[in-house]
Structure formats: C-alpha cells, structure tokens
Structure 1
Amino acid sequence: MARKRKRSSGGGRIGCLFLIVLAVAIGTAGYFWYDWGIRGPAEKPVAVTIAEGSSLTAAAKALEEKGAIRSASTFLRFAKLFGSDAPIKTGEFEVPAHATGAQILEMLQEGKVKQRFVTVPEGMPSILVRERLMKEDLLTGEVAVPAEGSVLPDSYAFQRGETRAAVLKRMQAAMDEALAEAWKARKPTTVVKSPREAIILASIVEKETAVASERRTVAAVYSNRLRIGMRLQADPTTIYPITKGKPLGRRIRQSELRAVNGYNTYAIAGLPAGPIANPGRASIEAVLDPAQSKALYFVADGKGGHVFADTLEQHNSNVQKWYKIRRERGEM
C-alpha cells in the first residue's frame, strides 16, 4: 500500500501571519482614522499657538505637544490625503475637546483663532481707556492716552501678542465710522454745526445720564441752552480739567465753579474746548436728533433718573423735592 504524503504546513503559517499583519495594519489605520475623522484625544479644550511663518509640519508638532492630536506624522499623512491644499493661518487657537484632525486642520486653514476682548464702556475717558489697554497682559507695546472722544465705546476682539496700538487704532476707526454715519443722518433740529461739536455735546450727555430713555431729552436741554446763549452749567465739564475724566470723589468747590479754563461751563458760554469722555452711539445720535422739548433744566429724581423743567420756578421746586429726598436719606 502506498504511503500518503504529509502535507506541508508552511503555506498555512504564512497565510496566518499575513492575516495577522493585515489585521494589525487595519486596526492601526482604524485607530488613527478614529482620531482624524471621529473623535480626537483631547479631554478638554487645548490652547495652541501657531507662530508666524510656521509650516503645517511645525503646527502638527505643536498640536502633538499640547495633546490636541496623538501623532504629528499621522496627522500630516491624513492631511495630505484628505485635507485641502489651503495654507494655514497663525495665531492662538483654542482646540475644542475631542476635536478631530479634520476639524483642527479646518480651524488652522480658516484662521479661527481664539478671540479675547477688551471693553470700553460708554462714557469712559481716554485716560482710563489707556489704563485698560496697558493692564491687558496679553497685549504688547506702549500706547499714549488717545485724544478725548476719539474712541468708540464697544468690545474689541484681539489676539495674544497683538500690539496695543493696533487695538486702539481699531477703536478710533470705529468712532470715525460711527460718527460719519450718524452725521449723515442728523436732523435739522440739531444745534451742533460739525461732527466735532457733536462729539463734545454727546460726551456731556453721556456723563449726565445713564438712563437710555433720557438721552434725547438731556440733549434737548443743552441744545435749548446753546440756542439762547445760556450757559450749560454741566458739572462734568467742571470736573474734567481737575481729574481728566476720573471720578472727583468729593463735591465741587465754589472756586472750581468760578474757574475759567475752557471747560468749566459755569464760567464760560457755549460748548467746552473739547470732549470730556468717549460717548457711545446713542448719545451721539441723541444730540443729532434731540427730543422735542422746551426744557432748560433738570435735577435728579431720587430714582436714578431726572425731572425736567421748562422754567426756573419749576426747576427750583424740583430741586427742593430732591433736597427733601436727600435729607430723608441722611445725605444732607
């Protein structure tokens, strides 16, 4: 009887090894594809700064160091295979938790940098605008006190490392644009004759009331006084040359009410020499379209607003009511 030939097991072992290698390769590819297209490794938002002039390779290394991606080389490989050829932008990026490689590449290419904000509230004087910019540690460089009334109150986005001068330039450009638009829409009832006069009067209105509904009426009071040559007698204009817009912290002295300095509207007629703060859009629009009112006076009402009067007799009566409120509060 003939012997059966023993089959060689070499082919089987090679086949098994191939399948193992294939499985590992597929698993590895799947592992990295998971990072690229499904879920990234970062457990929380990651801040990554891409320096000026960085290549995608340098950016990938920075992303790997921060834990936004697992592998710079794999990120680059998938970016070349599946990403666009658009160049990346530079700046500070905040990569969301579990952002995929595809999402991160899109962020870099579209320049979706992390935005920070510096806010200038309505009525802030320029000396405090400068202080606010200088206190922002993520900005760089020096900046002088800007011209009073040249900054539009708003919130302004900036990037880490940006210069203070660049941010201030945007603030002033915003004011130029807002003032030009408001001036075009001015009404014939406005008393101001130029954009600069509008800023000066708006800065007084801004400092005299924080109640939005009163702005046009306060503007009307001062407009009415200017028309008849009556002194504005605005306390904030008296304080400005003393503090440059900062709080006085005490009552105005009689000597200060008599001082002639170009700003004290108790001592001089007409508008002061310049703005006393940076007015917002609403106050600018108010002086360019004041309310229809004959009022020449106003005094606090004890509730945060004011009571307006057409005559001195009415005003004196309102003042006495205000004094009574202050006495009841123990302020007098």
Structure 2
Amino acid sequence: MTMTILVTGGAGFLGSHLCERLLQDGHEVICVDNFYTGSKDNIRHLLAHPRFELIRHDVWLPLYIEVDRIFNLACPASPVHYQNDPIATVKTSVLGAINMLGLAKRRKARILQASTSEVYGDPQVHPQPEAYWGHVNSIGPRACYDEGKRCAETLFFDYHRQAKVDIRVVRIFNTYGPRMHPHDGRVVSNFIVQALKGDPITLYGDGSQTRSFCYVDDLIEGMTRMMDQDAVIGPVNLGNPSEFTIRQLAETVLRLTGSRSTLEYRPLPQDDPAQRQPDIAKAAAALDWTPYVALEDGLEKTIDYFKKTLNQ
C-alpha cells in the first residue's frame, strides 16, 4: 500500500538513504531538513522523482501537513556538530519530538524515533541491552545530545501512554557508509579522509576503546522493518554486534586505502565511552533482523565514496 511518509532530517546521511529506500518501496516521500548538517547533494538525485518532495523547515517549529507515517531523524549526530551549538541540539531533540508527536497525534500516524546508543552513556553493562538504563553525565559536553535523545524517548512513551500515539523507537549504534559528512568528526569518516589525504590518523586515548560499526544498508533495513511490524514499539537496538578497537579500525583503513599515514595519539575527550556494543537479541526476535555487511566490505564502499567526493 502506497503511503505518504515524512522523513525529518531527510537530507542527512541516514535520512537520504531512508528516503531512497522508501521511494524504492513505492511510497510518497516528504523530506524535511533545515540543512544544518544535511546536504542537498545527498538527495539531488531524488529531486526530480515524481513521488519525492523537499521542504526546508526546522523541526523546532510545528509542521501542518498530511502524512501517514513519520520517521523522526532530525538532529546533529556527530560530536563536532552537536557540540558546536549544544542549545540548538537540545531544542532539535526535544521540540522536534514534541512537534512531530503532535503531528502524529493529529494525523493518527505511526511515528518512529531515531534514538541512539548514546542514551547508554559510558556503559557499565556490556554489551548493552535495551533494559539497561544507562550511565550518562547530565551536565557534560556530550549531554546536549545524550540527554536530548533520552528526553525525546520519554516524550514518545508519554505520548503513547497518554494520547495513544502509535510509536516506534530504535536505538542506533555507530553507522557508516556513503554520504557521511567528511568533517563530522566521526571515527570512520575521520580515519578514511585522513588516510586518503595522507594526514596522520588521530586516535584518542590509547585506541583500545571499542565500537561496533553497522553499514548503512543494514541499518535502513532494520528501521523499515521496525516501522512495518506491529509486535513491538521498542526501544529496539539496531547495530552490528561485531566489536573492534579503534586501533583495529585505523589499521584496517590504512590497509584498505594503501595509505602511508602514521598513527597520532591525542587525549581522550571527556565522557567518551570506553565500550559500545549492542545486544541485538530483541531485533533478531521481533524483526528477524541481523546485519550482514562485514566491516571490510562496508569500508571499501565508503572509501570509494570518499575517493570520488574528495576529488571533486
């Protein structure tokens, strides 16, 4: 059945891939973005599509349109961007959630919140299951994002309990792939850009902290499955449970790019999580979902993308 689906943050890294997938599935797609971190280049190939519409709008402000479903992805997602204007980050998460939930309530539309593994903070439980409440510094430099997303989850569940809004909530772990911003400060894009330019690869701390990296196609598959099913409202972790140290990632990027960049160690930022690995048992059971793209395969596709964009 063809639906009209709103994607906030639709010109961003994840949003643009989601818009593409929803069009492939036959839906009408309305992309909303204020282009703070999103880019028209990410969706330029969609602008002429007869079922695609772009609206420049800030989710801080209410939006009155006719939609059947809403994917709420709008928010700066990398430390460089969300710490650049922390107040705007909180407002995007909280006011954006209120406005999109209000729209969902008026339209009786199903709405999915793109939450984050950052709600777990610097976790004391490993791997992180959805039942873990987290270990977050509410006044630290990362709190604008961590607590903004936590508050958005609170709003989603309160709108569900009080106003019967049909919600879905996913917690997204580190995701990478083509259309990542080259200067967003995230570790995969950082390492690839530095390696391709021959610059030193910067590792924070001793490089022993771990992350789990999910390729974007796997993540989008999980999000669409979550939206389409009726068994669970969430939260549900979406991410790749294969765990790597940051040093292992750097060494893999160096090998795949053939770069001669050296490794350069810098102090660890405040509240940077030591470990990050999703427990995806709930996603596997409820969504029949598991990621398939191996790290090296995904990195090769991402490296190819950055080779093209850096040479433009």
Which structure's CA Rg is the greater one? Answer: 1
Global fold match (TM > 0.5): no
Q: Which has the higher contact order (CA 8 A, sep 6+)?
A: 2
TM-score normalized by the length of structure 2: 0.23
Normalized per residue, which structure has more helix?
A: 1
**TM-score (normalizing by structure 1):** 0.22
